[in-house]
Structure 1
């Protein structure tokens, strides 16, 4: 009991344990039925074409870097203190589409317990078959500026944790104490950051639904770290040393609660923060932008795109002589013509947004959709496809 209580304090990600094997298929079937009732959400930034996977349930977010969906169709989304801007350079991305159902994901490192890829409603997830701990391997140490996005769903009264340092339980390999992020979805939907020296910051969030996917997002800049859940900034830590390592450890404990349908992770995205937009444009003449999101198959910009668009609008206001072309790019999933058409309409929507919301002279802005014709990286890996679903700003 004491161990569980301590885990609740230091846990980051509310996810649940699974049922016994003899009940699993029945529960999964009920979950699948609810999944099919949900609306699809767009994958990636400006693009993705017609690739959007079926969303697990109404009110979810679907795919790394995507939107917090409204709790009900047509309901407005409230984003409280939401200033999250995803990193541009993808260090790790996974949506489990290349893994076989029943296998543990090949690109993750199993540390303890048992997990497997499961398909629900036409979409694949990492499912915790019991208490599960795994590592997300990185090709380099987590940089000073980074973002982490994990999309998951969980039953009520379930807990988990995430460590950014390489050692276990929030400690570096040299024994230095680090921090743990936690999310609770039982009677109090609270999330935040705890350190081993008893410092903490946390806040509540609304909109959680059992067994409906949603995002936890972290944004770090040196010792400054912020955390967001369901469109709300719940932790704002200006001087916490959260640690930097070449792996991120995720611990998903099972709760054993009767009726618990288990813990599922739908996608993971880790990215390095980018340069100042104007500096990048001055140096290179163009800059890739992540985090401009749209409804599925539509050019309607989603509200959580506001922080990124605010940066662009402020830059244009601050540099009256700056003229830009907004380019829309997709990955290679979906029909070529559909990708080109959708990227064209979305690039035009971004241009119009900047004109209407920030009063930018329309003569300073052009737009063009390029579909999948100019990839920034090979489409052979999840990281590459993430890089390719983007907006680029080109100096004219």
Structure 2
């Protein structure tokens, strides 16, 4: 054993001597080592800068494009962080403008597609807070209000028995759409079922006066959607001809009990009426709107203040969009070679697609998936508000966001789509009116 240990020690010493001899025979270039170390360090800094740049790009287009090779834990954390943020990328704080949006996936049955041409658009930015909207008539208390976190103004509707008419929605075409954001705010102070009601009405006479609590006076034909937010969150539909009820039915919508913005979408196709609250189709009435020569839109409020001296019950409306036409997107793209839509919506200055765009996106995806060899170019356009360069970048980011959703959500072949932005360079309407700007904010699909 002692001989074995001695032999091992001798071998160890021999190896060490050989290694030292070899090291001394080679000259170590200290300068070269330092240079390589500096280069490696610089490369690491460049890599870090690139990663940060990619992070900024991802953030700018709403996190739609994720870098690869992230761990499952990291992806779950990102998902959790996104779900906890509101539409402005801020933590929810209870303000209406910062409320988190409904999940895009929840709109899988949403089939609302707005009309081709916008006839009117109103975000009330042209009106001063506290004033009656310039283009509205009212028999009650209507005034412009601001809401914390919101990028636009709202018209606040309240009153004991009041009616509110936007004067630009008159003589509605047989095929048209109206959609808007709505907030209903009220205190649950012993309100009885009949003491609080808001209405969305399509009526045959714009000059109807507040004679009764219902719109179905003898001079009128039309349909009312009466909203009772408390206590049962019920929505009544009443269709009538010259004051006589033809149809009456009710539905429920639980979100009325939570004062967050609700997106309301109404589609008229001659006598057929559809109305959606967020992703839910509340009514689809094939004979809901009786035949009449003209129709107008108005809102109503019935508030009994006996149990609420502060009159806290109010309805707020903004982003009111009125459009004409019955879109035929399949024919436009396949036959005419160009599809133009204003139904893909974004927050101001953002490339995050709003979930109420789902009806349009589903139809586009169906066309592309049914015609798998069809190649298209997605082109984003903006209005002229803001900086030219930023509008160009925004239009590009929006086009890319749409392409990404079509690929990731609807399984459209990515190789058959390209995306680009034109910014504000190709207007199709005047940028001097709200409706003109809304027409210029569009997305085009061009057949290649």
**Structure index of larger Rg:** 2
Compared with structure 1, are the counterparts of its residues 242 and 179 closer, same or farther at alpha carbon in structure 2 (3 Å cutoff)?
farther
Confirm or deny: 8 A CA contact 2:204 2:220 kept in the other structure.
no
Q: Distance in 1 between matches of 2:278 and 2:329?
A: 27
Counterparts of residues 1-396 of structure 1 (less than 5 Å)? 39-40=86-87, 56-59=96-99, 69-70=101-102, 78-79=106-107, 81-110=109-138, 112-121=139-148, 123-128=152-157, 130-131=159-160, 132-138=162-168, 141-156=171-186, 158-167=196-205, 168=208, 170=215, 175=219, 177-196=221-240, 197-242=245-290, 245=294, 247-256=296-305, 257-258=307-308, 260=312, 262-281=314-333, 284-294=336-346, 298-396=350-448
Q: Distance in 1 between matches of 2:108 and 2:445?
A: 27
Is there any run of 5+ residues in structure 1 with no aligned partner, and where?
A: 1-37, 43-54, 61-68
Q: Distance in 1 between matches of 2:201 and 2:158?
A: 21
Q: Distance in 2 between matches of 1:370 and 1:363?
A: 21
Q: Distance in 1 between matches of 2:299 and 2:405?
A: 38
Compared with structure 1, are the counterparts of its residues 195 and 246 closer, same or farther at alpha carbon in structure 2 (3 Å cutoff)?
closer
Q: Distance in 1 between matches of 2:298 and 2:415?
A: 49
Q: Displacement, 1:154?
A: 2.1
**Larger RCO, structures 1/2 (Cα 8 Å, 6+ apart):** 1
Q: Distance in 2 between matches of 1:316 and 1:394?
A: 12
Q: Displacement, 1:127?
A: 2.1
Secondary structure of 1:208's partner? helix
Q: Distance in 2 between matches of 1:142 and 1:339?
A: 33
Q: TM-score, normalised by structure 1?
A: 0.74
Counterpart position of 2:17: none
Q: Distance in 2 between matches of 1:297 and 1:77?
A: 23
Q: TM-score, normalised by structure 2?
A: 0.66
Secondary structure of 2:225's partner? strand
Confirm or deny: 8 A CA contact 1:147 1:219 kept in the other structure.
yes
Between Structure 1 and Structure 2, which shows a larger proportion of helix residues? 2
Structural RMSD (CA): 3.1
Q: Distance in 1 between matches of 2:237 and 2:164?
A: 20
Q: Distance in 2 between matches of 1:372 and 1:137?
A: 29
Deviations 1:155-192 (A, max 9, x none): 2353122321232455699x463221122211112224
Counterpart position of 1:34: none
Q: Distance in 1 between matches of 2:227 and 2:88?
A: 23
